[in-house]
Chain A
Amino acid sequence: ETGVTQTPRHLVMGMTNKKSLKCEQHLGHNAMYWYKQSAKKPLELMFVYSLEERVENNSVPSRFSPECPNSSHLFLHLHTLQPEDSALYLCASSQDGQGGNEKLFFGSGTQLSVL
């Protein structure tokens, strides 16, 4: 186990649904990340939070809404998604949020299917 837990592991939702992905880290890290992994594409960084403040938002559509209530928890709220949003969503954490200077600890991901 990496110390980063994501729930649910699998999610199927219709385009009009609202759902949330949850991530919890037990490593005492100060930074948390959301990544999107689609087949045959590089990992895409979506959001970065450092000390509960959003420090990065990579032009992600507003139908994805992150929330970081404390340094251990990260949510991704989903609404009116499109079929092309189907992907594996990975949460990660790092010690200080120093970008590429640190190693990332990933959760197992939520496999999302949008019908």
Chain B
Amino acid sequence: SQQGEEDPQALSIQEGENATMNCSYKTSINNLQWYRQNSGRGLVHLILIRSNEREKHSGRLRVTLDTSKKSSSLLITASRAADTASYFCAAALYGGGSEKLVFGKGMKLTVNP
């Protein structure tokens, strides 16, 4: 079954505003990762947060993880038109003797200039 599920599925904001994307998952995880994908390109890793961490920052990105609610959020502050992309969460879970990274369907962010 799908682990990461992003919400909302699409978000349109104005440049300079903050964008918040949420991810929910169903079972215990070892870590959770966020990726971005520009149209027609591959995914680019943004940030990894481990199950024992609650918050992590990288530049204009802030990721939180709430293991009790099985959810994570990605906040992009002071958004730019160049932030327009699809964003994916990916949950790392252990099963069947190996650890796997399971991606959500993605969330499309449009930042209007």
By a beta-carbon cutoff of 8 Å, the part of chain A in contact with chain B is 2, 4, 6, 40-43, 45, 55-56, 90, 92, 98-101, 103-109, 111
Any A CB within 8 A of the CB of B81? no
B106 partner residues in chain A, CB cutoff 8 A: 42
A108 close to B40 (CB less than 8 A):
yes
Q: Give residues 35-70 of B contacting A (CB, 8 Å).
A: 35, 40-45, 48
3 tightest A-B CB contacts, nearest first: A100-B92, A99-B99, A106-B42
Residues in A neighbouring B48, C-beta threshold 8 A: 103
Interface of B: prevailing SS: strand
Interface residue total, chain B, C-beta cutoff 8 A: 29
B interface vs A, CB < 8 Å? 2, 4, 29-31, 33, 35, 40-45, 48, 88, 90-94, 98-106
A14 to chain B, nearest CB (A): 23
**Given A42-B103, A90-B43, A101-B99: 4 more A-B contacts, CB < 8 Å:** A42-B102, A100-B29, A100-B94, A106-B43
- The reply to whether A99 and B100 contact each other, CB–CB distance below 8 Å, is yes
A4→B43 CA distance, assembly (Å): 11
Is the pair B43, A99 in contact by a Cβ cutoff of 8 Å?
no
Name the distance in Å between B22's Cβ and chain A's nearest Cβ: 16
Contact indicator A99/B102 (Cβ below 8 Å): no
Q: Is A109 a contact of B30 with CB atoms below 8 Å?
A: no
Query: In the complex, which residues of chain A have a beta carbon less than 8 angstroms from the beta carbon of B98?
Result: 55-56, 99
Nearest chain B residue, comparing its CB with the CB of A98? B99
